[in-house]
Amino acid sequence: MSEKKRPALDPAAEAARNADRKSNAGPTPDPWEACATLEYGGDRSFAWSVREQVVRALPEEKARAEQSLLKALGRKDCTEAGRAFLCQMLALVGTSKSVAALAPLLKDPKSADAARYALEAIPGPEVDAALRDALGSLSGNPKAGLIGSIAKRRDTTARAVLAGIRENPSETPIVREAAARALDHLTTAKS
């Protein structure tokens, strides 16, 4: 018995047939945009996709990745978990272009740690200025962390401000101790 041959598929005809099919799933969200609305304990599949793209980005692709991350970070519905994830990714591909978006996050105790984590990895004096500028907006642990970032970046221009914080009795002990350690670090780093 002879087998019947299948007719060759005509790509144009196949596309026309598929155009009539309706999906109940709706449009697929942009994974970069979906990361802005991440929730702790929620679906992280979009985050995994974005993370892989950022980690594997070639040097010429990093600017596009940074732009997509900044666009997502700027969304009004960006969640705390989304902001933290986007900052983690900006630590990998961020440049001085990210400073304007990250600097305001330093002044909010909920986002200060994530923002400083991203900024620590970005070279340039504009980052140091943003970190110093945020010192007056925070207190307690977030301020101590910010002081640690200043020391880590070896920002010697912050010495006078840090000395003032160390000697200020109205600062919490953890902040005064962080300022003292930062000053020691900046002194030994210079030697």
DSSP states along 16-56? HHHHT---SS-PPPPHHHHGGG--TTS--HHHHHHHHHHHT
Q: Where residue 29 falls among pLDDT bands split at 50, 70, 90?
A: confident
| Nearest of 161, 162, 153, 168 to residue 184 by alpha carbon | 162
| Nearest of 119, 92, 177, 94 to residue 143 by alpha carbon | 177
Q: Which residues are CB-neighbours of 148 under 8 A, at least 6 positions away?
A: 178, 181, 182
**Across residues 95-100, what is the average pLDDT?**
97
Please tell me the predicted confidence (pLDDT) of residue 1: 54
| Other beta carbons less than 10 A from residue 116's beta carbon | 26
Classify 124 in phi/psi space as left (phi over 0), alpha (psi -120 to 50) or beta.
left
What value, to the nearest 5°, has the Cα angle with vertex 119 and ends 114 and 125? 155
Q: Where residue 188 falls among pLDDT bands split at 50, 70, 90?
A: confident
Average pLDDT along the chain:
89
Whether residue 46 is predicted with pLDDT greater than 60 in this model: the reply is yes
The identity of residue 179, as a single letter, is A
Whether residue 81 is predicted with pLDDT greater than 70 in this model: the reply is yes
- Could you give the 3-state DSSP secondary structure of residue 150? helix
